[in-house]
């Protein structure tokens, strides 16, 4: 396979992680980066390799076939649309955007020009998550009937002060729902299916220096008739765990602890604990929980968890470009997550259940 030429847009904390992941993908050729601050792009290139480009026009003119958007999420739409209109495929960091209008503009631009658009959700590639998906697809749970996303995590004041856009509605678009929760919201939707109705509330429990939510709860009715529960928070010091569980119509339950302690911060902290299968009562396989956990620990011990799973998703995306197929995580998948957290905010604001699609 001829390597796909990939460029980075944005040189913030998560961009360094993507540069390292790109260098680990033989099917990708990392070309370079651009940033709103050209000096930052120059410094980034000196540290991570590739060329520094003055702006996105220059990066696109260098013949890239894919751009990976790593700007703050309210600034995802403009470079995505510009790249798509130039015939360049786009892989964008989570969340896809801060608003549904931006998501729709991005998807429409990709549809007009026939390019692929994908959204980073690397936790889909975790071994225990793939195990759950395989069990559901094989019918081992019957029909997914109940889902749980539970996150007890932590962010301190220094985290919000580390970038001027954090913690504000106008520059971040939200708080824990928008920034820390999209991965697990995506997993719920991927494992159970689209949401049909949402009731939710949010609050700020112990972060007085920021405007946005540090905690949210929601109840979901899925289109298949299943139910879901969300409790997501970055208000538990120093962080406990993050879990996604799925319970089937046959009574079987499966689950993954995606994170232990506080969820990692790209470019700041690493991932010390492996994602683990933490629940498995599939009939006839109950005894396999210990086996699965040993396999999860062994798989994690051989990789750098902060970059390995990003590299897996980048590899899937560039292969999708070459094979002219949808990537595992599509623009529509990314939009569904934005729709879900938008509905939770709307439900809190209007104090009523919100039906989807919005």
Query: In this predicted model, what pLDDT tens digit does every residue of 66-90 receive, in sequence order?
Result: 999 999 999 999 999 999 999 999 9
Cβ-based neighbours of 240, under 8 Å, separated by 6 or more? 152, 153, 261
CATH 3.40.50.720 domain span(s) along the chain: 4-122+310-330
How many Cα atoms occupy the beta-carbon half-sphere of 240 within 13 Å? 9
Contact 300, 277 (CB under 8 A): no
Report the 10 Å Cβ neighbour count for 173: 24
Nearest to 334 by CA among 73, 66, 62, 58: 73
Write out the E strands in the chain. 4-9, 28-34, 51-53, 66-69, 89-92, 117-119, 144-152, 195-203, 215-222, 227-233, 241-248, 253-260, 276-280, 354-355
- pLDDT at residue 266 tops 80: no
CA dist., res. 27 & res. 318, Å (int): 7
Q: Is 193 exposed, middle or buried (0-12, 13-18, 19+ CB in 10 A)?
A: middle
CA dist., res. 137 & res. 225, Å (int): 17
- pLDDT at residue 355 tops 90: yes
- pLDDT at residue 110 tops 90: yes
The CATH number of 4-122+310-330 is 3.40.50.720
> Does the model's pTM come out above 0.85?
yes
pLDDT at 264: 78
pLDDT at 83: 98
pLDDT average, residue stretch 54-66: 98
Question: Residue 142 corresponds to which tokens in the numbers above?
Answer: 């019957």
DSSP 43-104: HHHHHH-SEEESSHHHHHHTT-SEEEE-S-GGGSHHHHHHHHHTT-EEEEPSSS-SSHHHHH
Buried b (16+ CB within 10 A) or exposed e, 272-311: eebbbbbbbebeeeeeebeebbebbeebbeeebbbbbbbb
Residue 235 DSSP one-character state: B
CA dist., res. 159 & res. 214, Å (int): 13
Residues linked to residue 245 through DSSP beta bridges, in sequence order: 148, 255
CA dist., res. 300 & res. 125, Å (int): 12
pLDDT at 121: 98
Q: Percentage of the chain surpassing pLDDT 70?
A: 100
Q: What is the pLDDT of residues 279-295, one digit of tens each?
A: 999 999 999 999 999 99
CA dist., res. 333 & res. 313, Å (int): 14
pLDDT at 258: 98
Residue 31 DSSP one-character state: E
Q: What is the pLDDT of residues 330-339, one digit of tens each?
A: 999 999 999 9
Q: Is the peptide bond before 55 cis (omega within 30 degrees of 0)?
A: no
CA dist., res. 3 & res. 5, Å (int): 6
What is the third-level CATH fold of 124-302+338-350? Dihydrodipicolinate Reductase; domain 2 (3.30.360)
pLDDT at 197: 98
CATH 3.30.360.10 domain span(s) along the chain: 124-302+338-350
Do the strands 4-9 and 28-34 form a parallel or antiparallel pair, or are they unpaired?
parallel
CA dist., res. 94 & res. 118, Å (int): 10
């Amino acid at each position: 396979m001829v390597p796909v030429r990939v460029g980075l847009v944005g040189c913030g904390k998560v961009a360094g992680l993507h540069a390292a992941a790109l260098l680990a993908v033989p099917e990708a050729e990392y070309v370079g980066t651009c940033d709103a601050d050209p000096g930052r792009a120059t410094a980034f290139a000196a540290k991570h390799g590739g060329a520094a480009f003055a702006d996105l026009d220059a990066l696109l003119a260098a013949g890239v076939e894919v751009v990976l958007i790593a700007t703050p999420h309210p600034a995802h739409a403009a470079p995505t649309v510009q790249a798509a209109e130039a015939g360049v495929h786009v892989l964008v960091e989570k969340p896809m955007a801060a608003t549904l209008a931006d998501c729709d503009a991005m998807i429409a631009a990709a549809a007009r020009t026939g390019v692929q658009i994908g959204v980073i959700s690397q936790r889909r590639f975790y071994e225990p998550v793939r195990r759950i998906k395989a069990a559901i697809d094989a019918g081992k749970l019957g029909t997914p009937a109940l889902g749980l996303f539970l996150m007890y995590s932590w962010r301190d004041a220094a985290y919000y002060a580390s970038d001027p856009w954090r913690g504000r509605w106008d520059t971040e678009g939200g708080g824990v729902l928008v920034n820390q929760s999209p991965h697990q919201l995506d997993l719920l939707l991927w494992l159970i299916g689209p949401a049909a109705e949402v009731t939710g509330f949010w609050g700020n429990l112990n972060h007085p220096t920021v405007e946005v939510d540090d905690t949210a709860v929601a109840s979901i009715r899925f289109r298949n008739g299943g139910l879901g529960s969300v409790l997501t928070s970055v208000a538990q010091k120093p962080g406990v765990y993050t879990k996604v569980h799925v319970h089937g119509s046959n009574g079987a339950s499966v689950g993954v602890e995606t994170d232990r302690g506080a969820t990692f911060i790209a470019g700041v902290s690493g991932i010390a604990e492996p994602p683990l299968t933490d629940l498995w009562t599939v009939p006839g396989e109950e005894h396999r929980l210990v086996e699965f956990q040993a396999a999860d620990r062994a798989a994690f011990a051989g990789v750098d968890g902060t970059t390995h799973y990003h590299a897996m998703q980048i590899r899937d995306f560039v292969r999708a470009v070459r094979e002219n197929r949808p990537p595992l995580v599509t623009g529509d998948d990314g939009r569904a997550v934005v729709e879900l957290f938008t509905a939770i905010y709307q439900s809190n604001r209007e104090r009523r259940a919100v039906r989807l699609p919005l």
